[in-house]
């Protein structure tokens, strides 16, 4: 390949100039028939005591040589603030069902050290506990989502923890909180009753868990002005029978219902290998997206069951664990679930966010797994070094969707096919922001061909556009500590106006977000 050819290829990728192989796509954005609000909490984060997510990822302690504010590292704090993180889910995950909250309060030097039996068998020092979590949430202006211990805990333990957090009274627990440095109670927004009770959270069946859920939910007692949403733990993926049992038996006690689903190129946790994060083929690329798009059908079918028992849609569906799951990076602790993050993950994130927007009437929160150094992370660290992943950039580009009004879209696009696998070549989501602008996200899944998207927007007129694109020449392009900006957004110039219509010339394997006004 000549140097000049490579430069032309790069220019085409980053400016959005169409190529001869472009697919012809017709898109209509129905600004004249607005839908539900896209809950900001769809952009939620998940932080578990797993690998280097908490320790090193966000918490380094006041005595660390890494620049920090009261023990929280400054670089990751700044990056998370830029994302506008709406909600944090903590402390797990499977870890939640072996976590006892009293281990994480009081003098840090006297807190007990435990073995993290779920994740790597390492020592959990409990330096990051209740006070640290709520302080982090306040620093990020994020809502708080606790997963309480049902697997090895008790109703009384949960009840005491919630009183410690929320009580403004002179009770013994409220006084203990004050003695530990926090005078006023914290705002508690969501309480998840257990985590994956069908698996690591207790190996329960649906009937048993529904009875346990009601018992725990009944004992979530807080002041009226600090009442959290009570979240029942739902199934993994297509566990529709679990949903039927829970909704039938416990819907009256629910504020929300959770769902977990991870994207594995292998399609199954039962297979020895999930697939590598970096050395993958085009066949792996398309299969990954085929697997991730199954979430649309799952949400549709779970929502139908929920509609039967909750026709007013009072119970929100929370996809509070989702994202890609590959083999760990060679040479790392298998229990730390550390994987690299490529352009494939950026496209995957865009596809999932577009699906969640389309179900905004029922889906009120999602939490990508996980925030730092674990699975499909926003941020990777190596001691004092820090980088932003391609997935981080998609979340940042999509930030205008938080709290916007969903606009239905009709798209006619040819499929992207490889062998016997076929998926949509272009995915779209559109919304009207609070200040009246139209935000459009376009994801081109084809790794070798662009797409010309001819767009009509009945009910809106737009005279100018600002847009960014995330793309690279290689499918597996990723950021490293030596080259932290190898994958980052660039200005997109492939949008052209003709009357009230717009044409977007998408490069291959790209995510584009445009603001029309």
Residues designated catalytic: 196, 321
Helix axes 155-166, 172-179, angle to 10 degrees: 60
Q: CA 285, CA 133: separation in Å to the nearest integer?
A: 37
The residues pairing with 111 across neighbouring beta strands, listed in sequence order, are: none
- Of 406, 441, 439, 438, which Cα lies nearest the Cα of 427? 441
Q: Beta-carbon neighbour count of residue 343 at 10 Å?
A: 26
What are the angstrom distances between the C-alpha of 87 and each of 126, 371, 509?
Answer: 22, 11, 30
- Assign 286 to helix, strand or coil: helix
Strand residues in 31-73 grouped as ranges (E): 44-46, 68-69, 72-73
- Of 357, 299, 288, which Cα lies nearest the Cα of 323? 288
Q: CA 460, CA 372: separation in Å to the nearest integer?
A: 39
| Upper half-sphere CA count for residue 61 (Cβ side, 13 Å) | 10
Residue 343 · residue 393 · CB < 8 Å: no
Helix axes 343-358, 294-309, angle to 10 degrees: 30
Q: CA 195, CA 187: separation in Å to the nearest integer?
A: 21
Vertex 416: Cα angle to 411 and 421 (nearest 5): 125
Q: CA 515, CA 517: separation in Å to the nearest integer?
A: 7
Look up residue 107 and give its DSSP letter. -
- 240, burial (CB in 10 Å: exposed 0-12, middle 13-18, buried 19+): middle
Going 309 to 255 to 97 to 379, the CA torsion angle's sign is positive
Strand residues in 333-378 grouped as ranges (E): 363-369
Q: CA 342, CA 92: separation in Å to the nearest integer?
A: 25
The b-or-e profile of 247-286 (16+ CB within 10 A means b, else e) is: bebbbebbbbbbbbbbbbbbeeeeeeebbbbbebeeebbb
Helix axes 240-250, 206-218, angle to 10 degrees: 40
Look up residue 240 and give its DSSP letter. H
- Of 345, 383, 380, 329, which Cα lies nearest the Cα of 483? 380
- 507, burial (CB in 10 Å: exposed 0-12, middle 13-18, buried 19+): buried
């Amino acid at each position: 390949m000549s140097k000049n050819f490579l430069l032309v290829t790069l220019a085409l990728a980053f400016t959005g100039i169409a190529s001869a192989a472009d697919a012809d796509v017709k898109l209509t954005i129905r600004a004249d028939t607005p839908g539900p609000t896209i809950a900001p909490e769809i952009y939620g984060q998940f932080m578990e005591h797993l690998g280097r997510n908490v320790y090193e990822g966000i918490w380094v302690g006041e005595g660390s040589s890494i620049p920090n504010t009261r023990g929280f590292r400054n670089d990751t704090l700044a990056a998370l603030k830029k994302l506008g993180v709406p909600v944090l889910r903590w402390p797990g995950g499977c870890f939640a069902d072996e976590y006892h909250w009293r281990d994480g309060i009081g003098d840090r030097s006297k807190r007990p050290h435990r073995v993290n039996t779920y994740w790597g068998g390492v020592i959990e020092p409990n330096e990051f506990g209740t006070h640290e979590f709520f302080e982090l949430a306040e620093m990020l202006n994020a809502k708080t989502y606790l997963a309480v211990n049902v697997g090895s805990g008790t109703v009384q333990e949960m009840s005491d923890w919630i009183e410690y957090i929320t009580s403004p009274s002179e009770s013994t627990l409220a006084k203990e909180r004050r003695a530990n440095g926090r005078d006023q109670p914290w705002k508690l927004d969501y309480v998840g009753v257990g985590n994956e009770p069908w698996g690591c959270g207790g190996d329960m069946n649906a009937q048993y868990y529904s009875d346990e859920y009601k018992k725990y939910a009944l004992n979530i007692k807080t002041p009226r002005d600090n009442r959290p949403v009570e979240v029942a733990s739902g199934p993994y993926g297509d566990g529709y029978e679990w949903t039927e049992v829970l909704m039938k038996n416990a819907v009256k006690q629910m504020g929300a219902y959770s769902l977990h689903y991870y994207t594995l190129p292998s399609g199954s946790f039962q297979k020895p290998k999930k697939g590598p994060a970096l050395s993958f083929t085009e066949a792996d690329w398309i299969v990954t997206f085929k697997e991730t798009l199954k979430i649309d059908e799952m949400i549709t079918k779970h929502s139908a069951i929920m509609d039967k028992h909750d026709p007013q849609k009072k119970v929100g569906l929370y996809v509070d664990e989702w994202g890609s799951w590959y083999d760990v990076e060679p040479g790392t602790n298998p229990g730390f679930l550390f994987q690299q993050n490529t352009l494939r993950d950026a496209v995957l994130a865009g596809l999932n966010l577009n699906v969640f927007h389309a179900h905004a009437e029922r889906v009120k929160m999602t939490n990508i797994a996980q925030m730092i150094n674990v699975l499909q992370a926003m941020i990777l660290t190596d001691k004092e070094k820090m980088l932003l992943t391609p997935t981080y950039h998609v979340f940042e580009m999509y930030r205008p969707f938080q709290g916007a009004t969903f606009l239905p879209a009709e798209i006619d696009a040819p499929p992207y096919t490889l062998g016997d696998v076929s998926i949509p070549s272009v995915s779209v989501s559109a919304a009207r922001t609070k200040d009246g602008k139209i935000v459009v996200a376009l994801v081109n899944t084809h790794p070798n061909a662009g797409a010309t998207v001819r767009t009509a927007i009945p009910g809106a007129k737009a005279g100018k556009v600002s847009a960014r694109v995330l793309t690279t020449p290689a499918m597996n392009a990723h950021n490293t500590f030596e080259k932290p900006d190898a994958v980052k957004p660039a200005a997109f110039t492939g949008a052209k106006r003709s009357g009230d219509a717009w044409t977007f010339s998408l490069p291959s394997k790209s995510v584009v977000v445009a603001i029309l006004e």
